[in-house]
Structure 1
Amino acid sequence: MTASEARPRRGLPAALSRLVAAEPEEVPAVLAGFLLFFLLFTGYFMLRPVRETMGVAGGVDNLQWLFTGTFVVTLLVTPIYGWVARAVPRERLLPVCYLFFAASFVAFALGIWRAADDVWLGRGFYVWLSMFTLFVVSIGWSFMADVMRPGQAKRLFGQVAAGASLGGLAGPLVSGLLVAHVGHAGLLLISAALLIGCLVPVRLLLQWRARQPRAEGEARAASRPIGGGVLAGLTLIARSPYLIGVSVFVLLLTSVTTFLYFEQARLVEATFPDETRQTQVFAAIDVAVQSLTIFIQIFLTGHLTRRLGVTVLLTLVPVLMVAGFGLLAAAAAFPVLAGVMILRRVGEYALVRPGREMLFTSVDNETKYKAKNAIDTVVYRGGDVLSAWLNTAVAAVGSGAAVALLGAAIAAAWAALGFRLGRIHDRRAQPEGT
C-alpha cells in the first residue's frame, strides 16, 4: 500500500477519487487535464462536420488528393515545429503552438467571411484542419505525459481522455445550434477562443506538478528548450526499434481508419444526396460516438488498464475491426457501416488512444515532444496517404468486398503488433508504482 492509499480520503477530491482510478491529491490534475481536452475537442468538433461536408462536396473520388495535400502540409510544418521546440522552453511550447493555430483560425474566418463559396478556400480549410488536429492533440498528450508519471498515466489517462469525448459531443451540438446565426466564420472565431482558453488548464497542471515530490528538478528541466535538430523526431524513430514498432502500429491504425472513412463517404454520398443532410448525418455519428465513449473513459478505461495492462487497450479494438470488416464484406449497407464506424471510433477514443499515449510515458522528454509528434503527424498522415491510394487502387480493380477483406487483414496485423507493444510497455513500466 502506498502512502497516499494509507491516508484517509476526505472531501470532494476523495469522493471523486472513489469514482475514478485516482488518488485524492491527483484529482486536481485529472480535472485540469479533462478541461484541457474538453476545450480543445469542443473547438475542433464544432468544425469537423463542416470539413466532412467540404470533403464530400469536392467529390469522393478526389478524397485521396485532399489526404495527399494534408500530408504535404504536415511535412512543411513539422520542421518548423522542430525549430520551435528547439528554441522555446518546454513549459511554453504548448502555449506558443496553440496561440499560433488560434491566429490561423482567425485568418481563415476572415477569408470565409469575404469569399464563403471559394472552393479552393474550402479545400485549404479541409487540409489545414486535418493537419491542425494531429498537431494540437499530439502536443497536448505530450504535455500530459510530461506532467504525469507512468503509473499515474496508466490509471488517469482514460479519465483525462473523457474530456476529449465530452468536447467531441458538445462541439457538433454547439455547431448545429450556432451555425445558422454566426456562420462558418463565426464558428472559427469561437474555436480560436476555445483554443486560447486551453492555456488556463495548462497553467493549472504546471502548478500541480510544481507541488509534487521531485518537482524542483522537473521544473528546471521544463524551463529549458528540449534541444536537438529540427528533424530530431524522425532521427529518434529511425534509431529505436520500439519507436519503429509504434510507428508501424500507427500506420496500421490509419489504414483501418482510412478504409472505413472512404467507405463512409461513398455510402453517405449515395444514401444522402443533400449536403445539409450529409452534415447532419456526420454530426449525428459524432454525437453517438462521443456519448458512448464518455462513460467508458470515465468509469472503465482506468480500471481496465490497472487490472489487465496497456496490452488490452491496444488489441481489443483491432480484433473487433477484423469482425467489422467481415460484416462489411458480407453486407456493405449504410447501417452496417455506421455501426462498424461507431464501434471503431468509440474503441479508438476510449481504449486505443489512451493506450497509445501511455506508450510514451516511459521515454525521455525529447522523445515525448519530438519523436511522438513526428509519429502523430508525419507518420499518421503518411499512413493516410498510403492507405488512401491503396484503397483507391483496390476499389478500381476489385469489389467493395475485396476492400473490406483487405481491411480485415490489416486489422489482424494491427492487433498482433498492439499485443507485442503492450507487453513491452508493461514490462518497461513495471517498476513504477503510481
Structure 2
Amino acid sequence: MLNKLLGRVVAVEVDEVRPMLLSALYFFLVMAGYFVVRPLRDDMGLAGGVRNLPWLYTGTLVGMLLVHPIFAAMVSKLTRRRFISLSYHIVAGLMVLFFALLSVLDEAQLIWVDRAFWVYTSVFNLFVVSIFWSVMADVFKPAQGARIFGFIAVGGTAGAMLGSAVTASLAEAIPTRFLLFASIALIEAAVLVALALLRHTTENANESEDDRPTGDEVIGGSVMAGISAVFSSPYLLGIVGYMLLYTITSTFLYFEQAEIMSEIFEDRGARTAFFAKLDLAVNTLT
C-alpha cells in the first residue's frame, strides 16, 4: 500500500523505499534541529549591535578554518558510523555548554556568549548539512539520487517548518535558552536515524555484494583532497562561483533585515519569535 502510494509521487523502486524514507526522516530531524536555534542566533547577533555583524561573519570564517582540519582528520581516520555519531554528539554537547553559560553568566558577559553562539550556529549549519549530503552520496547511486533526492529534500523543508514553528510558538512563553534542548533532542534523534540508514545500507551491500561504501569502512581523504577536487573540476568551480554570488547577495540582505529588526523590536523574546515566523513563512512558500 505504502509502496503504491509513494510510486505515484516519486519514481522509487521497492528496495529503495526504506532507505529513502529513512533519509527523508534524517534530513527532517537535522533541519528541524537547526531551525529551532536559527532564530535564537539571529536575535543574539543583534544583541551586540548591527555594526558588529561583519565581525561575526569574520568569526564564522575563522571558525570554519579552525574546524576544517579537525573535520578532515576525523574523516580520514573514522568509520562513517563513528564519524556521524561523534560529529552530532559534539554539536549537541556544545549546545549543553551554551545553555549552562546562558544560565549563569551576567548581562555583561552574555554579550560574548551571544556572539560565540552566533558563530557556532553558523558553523554547525554548514557542517551538519554537509555531513547529511555526503551520506546521501554514499548511500545512493547517481541514477537513484536523480529520482529520489527531491523527495528527501521535502523532508528537510518539512523539518525546517517544524523547527521554526516550535520556536515561533514558544519564544515568548519561555526563556529562549530552553529551546536548545529541543534542538539537542532532534539532533540526537537524527543520529539514531542515520545509524539505522547506514545499518540498512551495510546489510544490503553484504547481501547483494554491492560496491557502495558501508558504515563500517573508514571514510579516508585528507585536508587538501576537497580543495584539489574543486580546482580540477569546472563543474565544481561553477558551484563555488554560484555559492559566492549567493552568499554576497544574502549577506547584504541579512544586514538590511537586521537593521530593520533592531529598530522595531526591543523585547528579545518577541524578536526571536518574529525571526522564527519569518523562517516558517519562507520555508512554507518554498
The one-letter code of the counterpart of 2:98 is F
Identify if the C-alpha distance between structure 1 residues 228 and 172 changes in structure 2 by more than 3 Å, giving closer, same or farther.
closer
Which of 179, 203, 212 matches 1:218? 212
Question: Is structure 2 residue 108 aligned with structure 1 residue 113?
Answer: no
Cα distance in 2 for partners of 1:179, 1:264 equals: 19
Cα distance in 2 for partners of 1:276, 1:188 equals: 14
Cα distance in 1 for partners of 2:84, 2:183 equals: 17
User: In the alignment, which residue of structure 2 is the partner of 1:96?
Assistant: 86
Cα distance in 2 for partners of 1:229, 1:24 equals: 37
- Deviation for aligned residue 1:232: 2.6
Identify if the C-alpha distance between structure 1 residues 270 and 182 changes in structure 2 by more than 3 Å, giving closer, same or farther.
closer
User: In the alignment, which residue of structure 2 is the partner of 1:144?
Assistant: 136
User: In the alignment, which residue of structure 2 is the partner of 1:20?
Assistant: 10
Which of 239, 252, 266 matches 2:245? 252
- Deviation for aligned residue 1:111: 1.2
| Unaligned ranges ≥5, structure 2 | none
Which of 195, 219, 227 matches 1:234? 227
- Deviation for aligned residue 1:90: 2.7
User: In the alignment, which residue of structure 2 is the partner of 1:334?
Assistant: none
Identify if the C-alpha distance between structure 1 residues 59 and 176 changes in structure 2 by more than 3 Å, giving closer, same or farther.
same
User: In the alignment, which residue of structure 2 is the partner of 1:84?
Assistant: 74
Matches of residues 127-206 of structure 1 in structure 2 within 5 Å? Answer: 127-179=119-171, 183-206=175-198
Cα distance in 2 for partners of 1:65, 1:156 equals: 40
- Deviation for aligned residue 1:274: 4.8
1:73 touches 1:131 (CA, 8 Å); kept in 2?
Answer: yes
Identify if the C-alpha distance between structure 1 residues 276 and 191 changes in structure 2 by more than 3 Å, giving closer, same or farther.
closer
Matches of residues 318-333 of structure 1 in structure 2 within 5 Å? Answer: none
Q: What is the number of equivalent residue pairs in this alignment? A: 282
1:90 touches 1:222 (CA, 8 Å); kept in 2?
Answer: yes
User: In the alignment, which residue of structure 2 is the partner of 1:46?
Assistant: 36
Cα distance in 1 for partners of 2:283, 2:31 equals: 11
The one-letter code of the counterpart of 1:266 is E
Matches of residues 259-274 of structure 1 in structure 2 within 5 Å? Answer: 259-272=252-265, 274=267
Question: What's the TM-score, normalizing by structure 1?
Answer: 0.60
Partner deviation per Cα, 1:114-165 (whole Å, 9 max, x = no partner) = 1263100011001101110110011011101110111211121121111221
- Deviation for aligned residue 1:78: 0.3
Higher relative contact order (CA 8 A, sep 6+): 2
Cα distance in 1 for partners of 2:77, 2:247 equals: 31
User: In the alignment, which residue of structure 2 is the partner of 1:286?
Assistant: 279
The one-letter code of the counterpart of 2:76 is R
Identify if the C-alpha distance between structure 1 residues 246 and 148 changes in structure 2 by more than 3 Å, giving closer, same or farther.
same
Cα distance in 2 for partners of 1:200, 1:137 equals: 16
Between the aligned residues of both structures, percent identity stands at 39
Cα distance in 2 for partners of 1:163, 1:116 equals: 39
Question: What's the TM-score, normalizing by structure 2?
Answer: 0.89
Cα distance in 1 for partners of 2:231, 2:261 equals: 40
Cα distance in 1 for partners of 2:190, 2:40 equals: 22
Identify if the C-alpha distance between structure 1 residues 87 and 182 changes in structure 2 by more than 3 Å, giving closer, same or farther.
farther
1:112 touches 1:121 (CA, 8 Å); kept in 2?
Answer: yes
Identify if the C-alpha distance between structure 1 residues 114 and 182 changes in structure 2 by more than 3 Å, giving closer, same or farther.
same
The one-letter code of the counterpart of 1:257 is S
The one-letter code of the counterpart of 1:143 is V
- Deviation for aligned residue 1:255: 1.5
Cα distance in 2 for partners of 1:205, 1:115 equals: 40
- Deviation for aligned residue 1:48: 1.1
2:172 touches 2:270 (CA, 8 Å); kept in 1?
Answer: no
The one-letter code of the counterpart of 2:162 is A
**Residue 86 of structure 1 aligns to a residue in which SS?**
helix
User: In the alignment, which residue of structure 1 is the partner of 2:56?
Assistant: 66
- Deviation for aligned residue 1:34: 1.4
Identify if the C-alpha distance between structure 1 residues 116 and 250 changes in structure 2 by more than 3 Å, giving closer, same or farther.
farther
- Deviation for aligned residue 1:181: 6.0
Partner deviation per Cα, 1:240-261 (whole Å, 9 max, x = no partner) = 3332222222111212221221
Cα distance in 2 for partners of 1:223, 1:127 equals: 32
